[in-house]
Amino acid sequence: MSHYKILIIGGGTAGITVAAQLKRKDKSLKIGLIEPSEKHYYQPAWTLVGAGTFNFDKTERKEADYIPKGVDWIKDYAEAINPEKNTVATRSSGDITYDYLIVAPGLVMNFDLLPGLKEAMQTDYVGSVYTDPKKVWKMLQNFKGGNAIFTQANTPIKCGGAPQKIMYLTEHFLRKQGVRDKSNVIFATPGTVIFGVKEFAETLTKIIKERNIHFKPFYAPIKIDGKKREITFKYIKPDPENLEALIDGKLNESLSGENEITIKYDLLHLAPPQQAPDFVRNSTLVYQEGPHKGWLEVDINTLQHMKYPNIFGLGDVVGLPTAKTGAAVRKQAPVVVNNILSLLKEQQLGSKIYEGYSSCPLVTGYGSMVLAEFKYNNVRDSDPMISTFVDTSKEQYSMWLLKKYGLPFMYWNLMLRGKA
């Protein structure tokens, strides 16, 4: 049976960043990393791929090129975690034991949680930059008018801004193609507001008004009929009054059941339902109740597991009251690294804490972006360096350049190398 001082589950953004930082700080550590995939993707660029302004092939690299030197790559699937015995069961490499475990396998899409989604995704009218951005670009090019609906599942999702970004880009693309006047652009979301942080919400509200985008809050998708090209939402506002007054006949909306609204679509983009991988969800490590049910339970500041002190978690798999983004990982990784090294040397947690930082580069068109940065409790939290030069709550061309060129460079060359 293999044993590691530190075992990491997941070779995505979180797992690789933590492994690289640990090795930079202490080359002698015996670290194993469980990751079945041969490929590593820079997913933040997939929105741009979906809008035809980034090459998909440039988002894909070999996983082997990013496993830090001296870390054992266990090319296998984690199947179960037994925290009482400090073991992780794998599909074909047997049980692996650890002194410290870092859980960072990301999340998985589950189409089955939204009836009709799997079948609808097989049609030419439904797609997602989360799963196939190249198909979304084809859909945009083939769209000749009608209802373009953008929505998201009523589950936690990674990069909460992605359903909006592709919507802004599509709207801009339709103007460039001369079909905007034949199109309704609709943003239907289970959320209550366009964005949770006031300063950024003001900018985005202004944009959707100016660009005549139909904003539909409290719309939680419950089923899709791919044959009829219809999507049905449950209106989830508490005690809704006079739902009929909300129905917009011009958008082909209709009441279809108690608090249910059906809309016809000619293009439908959505963030699919998402959840933690089964081996995490079925373990004793997750929240059993509440808003983070089924997600890894860690202390929101130390990222240490609430019940098992030798387990830490970060990235999309953890249940935290902030957005699941790569930017969050960049601030979470040093906290996990600092805590584990302190425990190894001094038998106590380190001094670094995670304050919930996350950021959402909200692309609002070709050549413009709002950089929304925030921490716990939806408090704005701007990078001191960037905010000295630009107001990131307003649309900026410089932020577009950062998104398209700066952030991918930083990701591959700094973050995954443990330098940022």
Q: Which of 145, 129, 147 is nearest to 228 (CA)?
A: 147
188 is catalytic: no
Q: Say if 2-107+276-357+405-415 and 111-273 have the same CATH topology.
A: yes
Phi-psi region at 112: left, alpha or beta (left = phi > 0; alpha = psi -120 to 50): alpha
pTM score, two decimals?
0.97
- The four Cα atoms 302, 308, 313, 319 give a dihedral, to 10 degrees, of -80
Listed by start position, the domains of the chain span: 2-107+276-357+405-415, 111-273
**Residues of the chain by 3-state class (helix, strand, coil), percent to 5:** 35, 30, 40
360 is catalytic: yes
CA-derived radius of gyration, the chain: 22
Residue tagged active-site, from 9, 103, 159, 369: 159
Task: Please list the pLDDT of the chain residue by residue as tens digits (420 residues).
Answer: 899 999 999 999 999 999 999 999 999 999 999 999 999 999 999 999 999 999 999 999 999 999 999 999 999 999 999 999 999 999 999 999 999 999 999 999 999 999 999 999 999 999 999 999 999 999 999 999 999 999 999 999 999 899 999 999 999 999 999 999 999 999 999 999 999 999 999 999 999 999 999 999 999 999 999 999 999 999 999 888 888 888 999 999 999 988 999 999 999 999 999 999 999 999 999 999 999 999 999 999 999 999 999 999 999 999 999 999 999 999 999 999 999 999 999 999 999 999 999 999 999 999 999 999 999 999 999 877 777 888 999 999 999 999 999 999 999 999 999 998
According to the CATH classification, is domain 2-107+276-357+405-415 in 3.50.50.60?
yes
Q: Alpha-carbon torsion 248, 250, 251, 255, what sign? A: positive
CATH superfamily of the 111-273 domain: FAD/NAD(P)-binding domain (3.50.50.60)
Residue tagged active-site, from 194, 360, 363, 369: 360
